[in-house]
Structure 1
Amino acid sequence: MTQESNRQMRLRHLAIVTLDPDRLAKFYCDVFGMRELYRKEESGNVFLTDGTITLAILRNKAEGKPNGLNHIGFHIDDREEIEKKLQEWNMAPPAKRPDDRPYAEVRMTDPDGNNIDLSLHGFDQVETNVDRDKVKETN
């Protein structure tokens, strides 16, 4: 294994798949005081925050796929460092995301096959690019 880095990766978002994103978003806002960052009207996906972590609530469009955790996302400082560590684990390097997204440039999986999004600029960048007319404040 390589020498430990002083940098710490930062968990910044979780994504949950559900049949009813609006209901689940209301639950997390009402019960845990999260606020809505934005929503994608065409997909029904809703993005919430507690000020640090973003919770992506994604509409389950895959017939027969279970609801639940879809992926986790890390804000990283050095993609090459991650790639070296994956080599040590005999794992493939992260793959470019299939579509042009303003966050999570690449995706990888852990040894159990769980999806992990990696971003050099972080998910915080997305909030600054949001159409403010779509942002809904929750009190």
Structure 2
Amino acid sequence: MDGPTGRPKLRHLAIVARDRDPDRSCFLSDGYLSLALIKHQLDGETPIGMNHFGFHVEDTAVTSEALVAAGTPKPAERFTNRPFAEYRAMDPEGNWFDLSEHGFGGPRPSSPA
């Protein structure tokens, strides 16, 4: 995690859009912050617009405990085939957000012993 404060860093924004490449979603990055323009599935119930955002945190367990202590639901572990973040949570307003200790490229490979 970058910086001396250990504060969460915003790293990911995901927006659902109708007018995207018909075959897939589009991902853009400046090398730090990534923007996912997610193709809307016409038969789905996902609304158009902001879908979720993601934070890079120093320690997901400590961050999860702090969120629960603040009255939010406990963050849920993401599916193992989702390399973008380890946990998904919801703020008091109902906005979804991701938490990742490893960044948004998936967990780092184990270093050889």
TM-score (norm 2): 0.78
The alignment's C-alpha RMSD in Å is: 2.2
Q: Which amino acid aligns with 2:5?
A: N
- Give 4+ residue runs of structure 1 displaced > 3 Å after superposition: 62-65
Paired residue for 2:111? none
- Percent of counterpart pairs with the same letter? 41
Asked whether 1:120 is paired with 2:101, we answer yes
**Do structure 1's residue 11 and structure 2's residue 10 form an aligned pair?**
yes
The question of 1:95 aligning with 2:76 is answered yes
More helix, by proportion: 1
**Cα shift at 1:92:** 2.1
- 2:109 maps to what in 1? none
Whichever residue aligns with residue 50 of structure 1, its letter is D
- 1:93, 1:118 → 2: CA distance? 12
Deviation at 1:10, TM superposition (A): 0.7
Structure 1 length as normaliser, TM-score? 0.65
Specify every segment of 5 or more residues in structure 1 that has no aligned partner in the other structure, as ranges: 24-40, 127-139
Question: 1:87 Cα shift?
Answer: 2.3
- Distance in 2 (CA, whole Å) between partners of 1:122 and 1:56 is 15
Structure whose CA Rg is larger: 1
Q: Mark the runs of 5 or more structure 2 residues left unpaired by the alignment.
A: 107-113
Whole-Å separation in 2 of the counterparts to 1:11 and 1:121: 13
Bigger relative CO (Cα 8 Å, ≥ 6 apart) = 1
1:66 maps to 2:38 = no
